[in-house]
Amino acid sequence: MTYEAIQYELGDGVATVTLNRPDVHNAFNSLMQRELHTLWRALRRHDPVRCIVLTGAGDKAFSAGGDLKERDGMTDEAWRLQHAIIEEGVYAIVNCSVPVIAAVNGVAFGGGCEIALCCDFIYAASAAMFGQPEVTRGIMPGAGGTQNLPRAVGERRAKELILSGRPFTAREAYEWGMINRVCEPQELMPQALETARAIAANAPIAVRQAKKAIAYGMETDLDTAMILAIEAYNATVVTEDRLEGVRAFNEKRKPNFKGR
């Protein structure tokens, strides 16, 4: 498919998705949201995709959030209809079976910060800035920020950040445990892609099952989580990839995983 507001590339099992409205700091308009939703649904069913990297075009912004120029004067009904597309896009990222890495190359405010938080983990450029300023515009985070930010940085700090609307730096986000790695700007994509390729080289069923076990396990008690994890583990035992992995180890070669 061809897109206007995003870019999509696939190589070595890694899909790179770029928010592509750099003239407005990659702000989300209705077109971008529809395109992201369409792409994400397709990626979930596209077997060659084993890891996804999400980033922004240019060197200034990952995404500044919702396009407030487009939203200026929107009726309540039009706003809700647009936001329904955003909600579906967020759920598509959260429920994506393959790992998603956010490579935050600049400003990630509002919905931009929220979508980064929906990814499995985040790498950020040293100059990147984050923030949830929605309350300064008369609304509140509506794409998972009130749920994902507390899980990433703790309830009390999340309340401070969301209720004040104040921005914070990549270094602060790293120290609080929200992001995994702070990179020099020129190293951000190379490092994100290096990790994505490492993930893509592993057994895809095993990766998906491990991601599922972590995600569901974190939302329940430990005993239930252990049961869920064993069920996920058992799904890998019956695969051809399990046989190939053990065989490759004993033959001292790199495994050739097929996702079967």
Task: Please provide the average confidence, as pLDDT, over all residues in the chain.
Answer: 91
- The CATH homologous superfamily for domain 6-200 is 2-enoyl-CoA Hydratase; Chain A, domain 1 (3.90.226.10)
The H or E element containing residue 18 is: strand 14-19
**DSSP 8-state symbol, 221:** -
Residue 1 has pLDDT above 90, yes or no: no
Q: 88, 134, 155, 251: which is the annotated catalytic residue?
A: 134
- Residue 80: what are its φ and ψ, rounded to 5°? -65, -40
- Give CATH 1.10.12.10 domain extents, the chain: 204-250
Averaging pLDDT over each range in 74-78, 89-93, 155-159, which range is the top one? 155-159
- Give CATH 3.90.226.10 domain extents, the chain: 6-200
Nearest 5 degrees, angle CA 24-CA 122-CA 196?
A: 105
Choose between 218 and 174: higher pLDDT: 174
Is pTM, for the whole model, over 0.85? yes
Averaging pLDDT over each range in 63-67, 172-176, 241-245, which range is the top one? 172-176
CA atoms of 188 and 193, how far apart (whole Å): 9
Is 134 known to be catalytic?
A: yes
Q: What is the identity of the amino acid at 149?
A: L
Residue 18 has pLDDT above 90, yes or no: yes
**DSSP 8-state symbol, 182:** E
Please give the pLDDT value at position 15: 93
Give me the residues paired with residue 51 across strands: 14
- Both structure tokens of 198: 């490492």
Contact 170, 179 (CB under 8 A): yes
Residue % of the chain over a pLDDT of 90? 70
- Both structure tokens of 168: 């914070």
Give the distance from CA 117 to its chain's centroid. 6
pLDDT in tens, 53-66: 999 999 899 999 87
Residue 248 has pLDDT above 70, yes or no: yes
Q: 70, 114, 187, 251: which is the annotated catalytic residue?
A: 114
Helix, strand counts (H, E) of the chain: 11, 10
- The CATH homologous superfamily for domain 204-250 is Lyase 2-enoyl-coa Hydratase, Chain  A, domain 2 (1.10.12.10)
Please give the pLDDT value at position 100: 95
**Count of beta carbons in the 10 Å neighbourhood of residue 126:** 14
Is 114 known to be catalytic?
A: yes
Choose between 45 and 65: higher pLDDT: 65
pLDDT bin (cut points 50, 70, 90) of residue 47 is confident
